[in-house]
């Protein structure tokens, strides 16, 4: 894409009321826009990152055998009253409103209830199980305070996966597979090295749940790393190990054994081979996409701006034309890269080279290609790695080969 | 996909309270689930159709030069008060709720206000224009009655595109291009032949807007076809031509010249070459995705069920294994088709042939491949066209060639 066509622009300063690093950088780079505290719109560059994260997660969910659905935000109060979670003292972040008829409706904070009720129409026999169902769906949470940028939104997209099993063993087996899928996701988006599995508080049906916690100063939790090789840690809220160094961290994913808590209350039963009925054993598995994107920014940015890992970068290459004379060569390189299917943001704007360098570093595309006097003379491209700052000279063909094979 | 793995099942009867044909068929086929009146979840088969419609629209929006964003549902009341649309007597379908702090927030029914305000941060000069911005975003509308299935939802995804121009001529040119893009969309989803352009009521800045109206008994409007070749009609609300046959119809898209109504109130100005400031000229262009999907069902279904056009069908092929003996051959055909990248729903369930035929007709995948005693004997596949009911015998290779080239 030609940057002259992109409607967003970078800005030197974040809005004064924006105290979080992730949102400040993303707003300055033109990736998101703050509508109000905890409510952010995604602009073209930000939406590209968001969709790449979504696709990484979708692949892993499909590999788990997950079937994708999209449930609704508007929630009938009846099913939540049945489960005992309609009251504000039970779920304290409800947004509630009403239909013209006067009926109460809520905006979903999570989806155990509607999905469990829905499945009573499709599950009756052991032959219908096990199953796993997931969605990317907007949640609404009326948080009292919202100062963490996109780490904790009042409106945000969550990938929520739910598993439905016949036996505890079947559930446990899926639960372990989900753990591995989550590992893969955190590795692919570039935070695997600083993300640890911890125990978290359980519920009526299991002693513990599990969380994936990423080490960052922006985190609200504290963990003690107990096994660096296995990437395991202890959450201060649950346990305090003898050793282990304390780190601030943020929960980027949780996996939860729900037992039969919802299936009993909402009557999701299955008959076994002999016709005896039992409640379905459930699990839930959540990842907030904005939170994940914000965590990547918190962990990987430097003093110049964002540093996107290539798997989720909005573009693979940021091509900068630095002088008027360089424009023709830059146009040619742009066409060559695009014709190979490489995603290129081409800074073809009439602007000073210094401004282009600063913007490119702020926006954080992994590979910068600088075309100015030097390139015109040597016919070699200056290729700069955003993360390390290392520069190399190479031909267009070599760059293409590196990008397509790297 | 193996149908034995799909968690949804077909059902003989729609829910008793479902009076619309589109939702009744989609629920019976397991494509959607009714949460409450006007609020429907998308199940795996329905979500596949929905995503194909989304991609067809996205291609056309990108071809128009549209840049994709995703704005928020939660709306700060301030910007709507400024434009004069916060009051319930102006927009009578608001859902409103409040933050814990007590501030009023609304759920977006449309997005002119937040997008116009957002752009004041990015537009200042004639050099920043023209531009076109679009999104696929969930709208909430507190409809008094909601009996039309997914044709008129209380919660639904809309593609909304907004254009920003410097002069009336520039606006008019884009407006005509948008008309053509809409034509392409309706043609691709299979309702082009029964979709007509009509004038609709304008506003303070233009005498007329335009609507695309699709002829169907489920429609709430009445149009008179005035030019069958050009696919033009007159909307009863606006004009009554001398000739022309009356038809019930539903609005599947609208395009609207907004003039400077929003830019003046929300201060979206640009400076021309001489520094003189003018308000930006805007247009808005909407398509409800659920409404479009529901319209396709209303128009193309028959007494056996849904008939999907291949461009938006959930799968291209519905492969039915009709007997135990046929399973091995059906498995082989399934593998052959899938290895060629063909999307196949494979009915591998243990069920009677009659039940499989009825389910396949209800679900409406365009090409049915029947494998039973006849195929085992002749080694030829029975290939049935869902729309016409025509059957042909062909080899697997011929079927693959037909699917990949057709």
What gap in Å lies between CA B248 and CA B236, rounded to an integer?
10
Write down the mean pLDDT value for chain A: 96
Q: Inter-chain contact B69–A138, Cβ cutoff 8 Å? A: no
Inter-residue contact A176 to A170 (CB < 8 Å): no
Q: Mean pLDDT, to the nearest integer, of A313-340?
A: 97
Chain pair A-B, CB pairs under 8 angstroms: 128
The chain A residue lying nearest B41, using CA atoms, is A71
In this predicted structure, what is the pLDDT of residue A247?
97
Q: Inter-chain contact B97–A100, Cβ cutoff 8 Å? A: no
Distance from CA of B123 to the nearest CA of A (A): 8
In this predicted structure, what is the pLDDT of residue B366?
98
> What's CA B199's distance to the chain center, in Å?
21
Inter-residue contact B237 to B260 (CB < 8 Å): no
Q: Mean pLDDT, to the nearest integer, of B174-184?
A: 98
Q: Mean pLDDT, to the nearest integer, of B171-200?
A: 98
User: Does residue B43 have a cis bond before it (omega within 30 degrees)?
Assistant: no
In this predicted structure, what is the pLDDT of residue B245?
94
Q: Inter-chain contact A114–B41, Cβ cutoff 8 Å? A: yes
Scanning the structure block, which residue is given the tokens 């059906």? B330
Scanning the structure block, which residue is given the tokens 């080899």? B395
| Structure-derived torsion over alpha carbons of residues B62, B65, B69, B71, reported in degrees to the nearest 10 | -110
**Percent of chain B scored above 90 by pLDDT?**
94
Q: For residue B104, what are the contacts with CB-CB under 8 A and spacing of at least 6?
A: B77, B96, B98
Q: How far is CA A282 from CA A85, A86, A279, B272, in A?
A: 17, 20, 9, 62
In this predicted structure, what is the pLDDT of residue B390?
98
What gap in Å lies between CA A212 and CA B72, rounded to an integer?
27
Does the predicted TM-score (pTM) go above 0.95?
Answer: yes
Set of chain A residues whose Cβ sits within 8 Å of the Cβ of B126:
none
This complex has an ipTM of 0.97
In this predicted structure, what is the pLDDT of residue A219?
95
Q: Inter-chain contact B97–A114, Cβ cutoff 8 Å? A: no
Q: Residue B177 burial by CB count (10 A; 0-12/13-18/19+): exposed, middle or buried?
A: middle
Q: Inter-chain contact A122–B155, Cβ cutoff 8 Å? A: no
The chain B residue lying nearest A141, using CA atoms, is B99
> What's CA A357's distance to the chain center, in Å?
28
Q: What confidence tens digit (pLDDT) does each residue in A102-127 have?
A: 999 999 999 999 999 999 999 999 99
The chain A residue lying nearest B73, using CA atoms, is A155
In this predicted structure, what is the pLDDT of residue B145?
87
Set of chain A residues whose Cβ sits within 8 Å of the Cβ of B121:
11, 33
Q: Inter-chain contact A74–B100, Cβ cutoff 8 Å? A: no
| pLDDT above 90: residue A366 | yes
The chain B residue lying nearest A92, using CA atoms, is B100
What gap in Å lies between CA B239 and CA B217, rounded to an integer?
20
Q: Inter-chain contact B74–A155, Cβ cutoff 8 Å? A: yes
Q: Inter-chain contact B122–A9, Cβ cutoff 8 Å? A: yes
**Percent of chain A scored above 90 by pLDDT?**
94
Inter-residue contact A226 to A243 (CB < 8 Å): yes
In this predicted structure, what is the pLDDT of residue B206?
80
What gap in Å lies between CA B96 and CA A369, rounded to an integer?
49
SS3 for chain B is CEHHHCCCCCCCCCCCCCCCHHHHHHHHCCCEEEEECCEEEECHHHHHHHHHHHHHHHHHHHHCCCEECECCCEEEHHHHHHHCCCCCCCCCCCEEEECCCCCEEEECCCCHHHHHHHHCCCCCEHHHCCEEEEEEEEEECCCCCCCCHHHCCCEEEEEEEEEEECCHHHHHHHHHHHHHHHHHHHHHCCCHHHEEEEEEECCCCCCEEEEEEEECCCCCEEEEEEECCCCEEEECCCCCCCCCCEEEEEEEEEEEEEECHHHHHHCCEEECCCCCEEECEEEEEEEEHHHHHHHHHHHHCECCECCCCCCCCCCCEEEEECCCCCHHHHHHHHHHHHHCCCCEEEECCCCCHHHHHHHHHHHCCCEEEEECHHHHHHCCEEEEECCCCCEEEECHHHHHHHHHHC
CA neighbours within 13 Å on the CB side: how many for A344?
Answer: 27
Q: Inter-chain contact B68–A6, Cβ cutoff 8 Å? A: no
Set of chain B residues whose Cβ sits within 8 Å of the Cβ of A154:
74, 99
Inter-residue contact B372 to B326 (CB < 8 Å): yes
Set of chain A residues whose Cβ sits within 8 Å of the Cβ of B5:
65, 67
Model confidence at A181, pLDDT cuts 50, 70, 90, reads very high
Nearest to A76 among B35, B97, B119 (CB): B35
Inter-residue contact B31 to B46 (CB < 8 Å): yes
Q: Inter-chain contact B47–A35, Cβ cutoff 8 Å? A: no
In this predicted structure, what is the pLDDT of residue A133?
98
The chain A residue lying nearest B27, using CA atoms, is A121
| ∠ Cα A57 A60 A66 (to 5°) | 100
Q: Tokens standing for B148?
A: 């039309």
Distance from CA of A283 to the nearest CA of B (A): 17
Distance from CA of A5 to the nearest CA of B (A): 8
In this predicted structure, what is the pLDDT of residue B269?
98
Q: Inter-chain contact A41–B138, Cβ cutoff 8 Å? A: no
Q: Inter-chain contact A73–B68, Cβ cutoff 8 Å? A: no
| pLDDT above 80: residue A222 | yes
The chain B residue lying nearest A67, using CA atoms, is B44
Q: What confidence tens digit (pLDDT) does each residue in A122-165 have?
A: 999 999 999 999 999 999 999 998 889 999 999 999 999 999 99
Nearest to B122 among A8, A73, A101 (CB): A8
Q: Mean pLDDT, to the nearest integer, of A300-322?
A: 98
Q: Inter-chain contact A7–B122, Cβ cutoff 8 Å? A: yes
Write down the mean pLDDT value for chain B: 96
CB atoms under 10 Å from CB of B343, counted, come to: 15
Scanning the structure block, which residue is given the tokens 């009356």? B246
Q: Tokens standing for B201?
A: 């009521």
Set of chain A residues whose Cβ sits within 8 Å of the Cβ of B133:
7
| Preferred mutation among B38, B49, B58, B99 to probe A, highest tally of A CBs within 10 A | B99
Nearest to B95 among A41, A42, A97 (CB): A97
In this predicted structure, what is the pLDDT of residue A379?
87
Distance from CA of B301 to the nearest CA of A (A): 23
| pLDDT above 90: residue A59 | yes
Q: Tokens standing for A20?
A: 């979080």
Q: Inter-chain contact A133–B7, Cβ cutoff 8 Å? A: yes
In this predicted structure, what is the pLDDT of residue B202?
83
Set of chain B residues whose Cβ sits within 8 Å of the Cβ of A119:
7
Model confidence at A283, pLDDT cuts 50, 70, 90, reads very high
| pLDDT above 90: residue A242 | no
What gap in Å lies between CA B138 and CA A70, rounded to an integer?
12
Inter-residue contact B299 to B191 (CB < 8 Å): yes
Q: Inter-chain contact B122–A95, Cβ cutoff 8 Å? A: no
Scanning the structure block, which residue is given the tokens 């007997």? B323
What gap in Å lies between CA B394 and CA B399, rounded to an integer?
6
In this predicted structure, what is the pLDDT of residue B205?
73
What gap in Å lies between CA B173 and CA A248, rounded to an integer?
55
Longest distance between any two alpha carbons in chain B, whole Å: 82
Q: Mean pLDDT, to the nearest integer, of A229-249?
A: 92
Distance from CA of B22 to the nearest CA of A (A): 18
Nearest to A72 among B39, B114, B123 (CB): B39
Inter-residue contact B227 to B241 (CB < 8 Å): no
Nearest to B44 among A67, A105, A138 (CB): A67
Set of chain B residues whose Cβ sits within 8 Å of the Cβ of A140:
73-74
Model confidence at B207, pLDDT cuts 50, 70, 90, reads confident
Q: What confidence tens digit (pLDDT) does each residue in B111-167 have?
A: 999 999 999 999 999 999 999 999 999 999 999 988 899 999 999 999 999 999 999
In this predicted structure, what is the pLDDT of residue A72?
98
Q: Mean pLDDT, to the nearest integer, of A236-258?
A: 92
**Percent of chain A scored above 70 by pLDDT?**
100
Q: What confidence tens digit (pLDDT) does each residue in B51-101 have?
A: 999 999 999 999 999 999 999 999 999 999 999 999 999 999 999 999 999
What gap in Å lies between CA A57 and CA A290, rounded to an integer?
13
The chain A residue lying nearest B8, using CA atoms, is A122
Nearest to B69 among A42, A118, A123 (CB): A42
Edge to edge, what strands does the sheet with B74-76 contain? B74-76, B104-107, B95-98
In this predicted structure, what is the pLDDT of residue B200?
92
Distance from CA of B31 to the nearest CA of A (A): 10
Q: Helix axis angle, A44-63 relative to A289-300, nearest 10°?
A: 110
Distance from CA of B66 to the nearest CA of A (A): 10
Q: Inter-chain contact A121–B33, Cβ cutoff 8 Å? A: yes
Distance from CA of B241 to the nearest CA of A (A): 37
Inter-residue contact A334 to A361 (CB < 8 Å): no
CB atoms under 10 Å from CB of A184, counted, come to: 16
Nearest to B70 among A41, A70, A107 (CB): A41
Distance from CA of A137 to the nearest CA of B (A): 10
In this predicted structure, what is the pLDDT of residue B196?
98
Q: Mean pLDDT, to the nearest integer, of A290-294?
A: 98
Nearest to A70 among B41, B71, B101 (CB): B41
| pLDDT above 90: residue A240 | no
């Amino acid at each position: 894409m030609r940057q002259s066509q992109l409607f967003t622009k970078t800005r030197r300063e974040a809005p004064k009321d924006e105290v979080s690093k992730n949102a400040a950088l993303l707003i300055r780079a033109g990736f998101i826009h703050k509508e109000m505290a905890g409510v952010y719109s995604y602009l073209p560059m930000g939406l590209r990152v968001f969709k790449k994260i979504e696709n990484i997660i979708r692949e892993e969910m499909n590999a788990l055998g997950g079937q994708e659905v999209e449930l609704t935000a508007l929630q009938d109060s009846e099913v939540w009253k049945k489960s005992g979670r309609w009251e504000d003292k039970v779920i304290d972040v409800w947004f509630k409103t009403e239909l013209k008829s006067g009926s109460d409706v809520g905006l979903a904070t999570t989806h155990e209830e509607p999905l469990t009720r829905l499945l009573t129409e499709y599950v009756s026999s052991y032959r219908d199980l096990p199953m796993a169902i997931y969605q990317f769906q907007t949640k609404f949470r009326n948080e009292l305070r919202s100062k963490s940028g996109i780490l904790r939104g009042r409106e945000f997209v969550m990938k929520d996966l739910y598993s439905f099993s016949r036996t505890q063993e079947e559930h446990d087996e899926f639960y372990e597979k989900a753990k591995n899928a989550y590992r893969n996701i955190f590795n692919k988006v570039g935070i695997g090295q600083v993300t640890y599995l911890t125990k978290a508080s359980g519920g009526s049906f299991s002693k513990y749940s599990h969380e994936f916690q990423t080490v960052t100063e922006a985190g609200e939790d504290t963990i003690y790393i107990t096994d660096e090789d296995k990437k395991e840690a202890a959450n201060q809220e649950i346990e305090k190990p003898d050793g282990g160094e304390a780190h601030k961290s943020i929960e980027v994913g949780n996996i939860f054994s729900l037992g039969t808590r919802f299936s009993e209350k909402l009557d999701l039963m299955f008959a076994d081979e002999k016709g005896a009925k039992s409640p379905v054993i459930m699990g839930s598995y959540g990842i907030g996409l904005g939170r994940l994107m914000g965590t990547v920014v918190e962990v990987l940015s430097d003093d110049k701006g964002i540093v996107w890992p290539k798997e989720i970068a909005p573009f693979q290459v940021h091509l900068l034309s630095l002088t008027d004379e360089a424009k023709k060569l830059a146009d040619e390189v742009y066409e060559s890269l695009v014709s190979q299917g490489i995603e290129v943001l081409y800074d073809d704007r009439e602007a000073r080279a210094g401004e282009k360098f600063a913007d490119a570093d702020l926006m954080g595309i992994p590979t910068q290609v600088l075309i100015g006097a030097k390139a015109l003379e040597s016919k070699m491209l200056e290729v700069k790695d955003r993360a390390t700052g290392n520069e190399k000279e190479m031909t267009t063909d070599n760059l293409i080969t590196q990008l397509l094979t790297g």
